[in-house]
Amino acid sequence: MLRFDRLRALLASRRRLVLAAGVALAVLAGASYGAWYLLSEPETVVVRRRKAPSLTLEKAQALYEDGRYEEAMDFCARSRRHYKDDPAYWNFCGVTLRTIGHLEGSPDEREEELAAFEKALTLSPDFGAARLNLANALWELGRTEEALAQYRRVIAHDPDHPDYAGVLARFSEEERLRMLREEAAARKAAAAPNPQPQAPPQPDAEPRPVDMNER
């Protein structure tokens, strides 16, 4: 018992020294971590962003003006994701498709052309150029009533539109064509031979009772 009493007395006398050593070790550990954190290189966070196309819409329009239609069409195909909310882009794509279709004599792009103009108008209903382009495309496809409806909206929204006279000419042309169709139908009806009236069928003679019971 005496030995343990001496040990407890020793620990009691050295308690302050043990506590001070523990605190010193804790401070040293904290300082070491702080130094490592400050001296270490920060982690680089890579943020991936959608890269803008090198060829802009303005440059593509310049290519179109220079007659480089295939390059302009290539821009439309490659840049759709970047310009998908730009009505000017969709109108430009429709115009380019229309031009290439005329040059190649191929009607395959006409539906895509119409869809491009309609997309532009969905994004911007007051986009007069896109509506006029849509009306012209419908007219060329023979969808006259749809085209005239679009022409009416063009001139109603902008009576001073530079193509106002051309739009009115389309209405006059449609009226002239309608009159020609009516005259042709009237001539065809007049030239058709009149069928001879046929005498109404005579009813059969009513049978006599003897005929009905003939033996």
- Token duo for residue 176: 């002239």
> Is 195 a domain residue?
no
> Is 14 a domain residue?
no
> Is 26 a domain residue?
no
> Is 201 a domain residue?
no
Series of mean pLDDT values for 10-residue runs along the chain (215 residues): 55 60 64 59 48 78 94 93 94 94 82 95 94 93 91 86 79 76 78 66 52 42
pLDDT at 207: 47
| Other C-beta atoms lying within 10 Å of the C-beta of residue 163 | 18
pLDDT at 68: 94
Contacts of 131 (CB under 8 A, 6+ apart): 117, 121, 150, 153, 154, 157
> Is 108 a domain residue?
yes
pLDDT at 54: 72
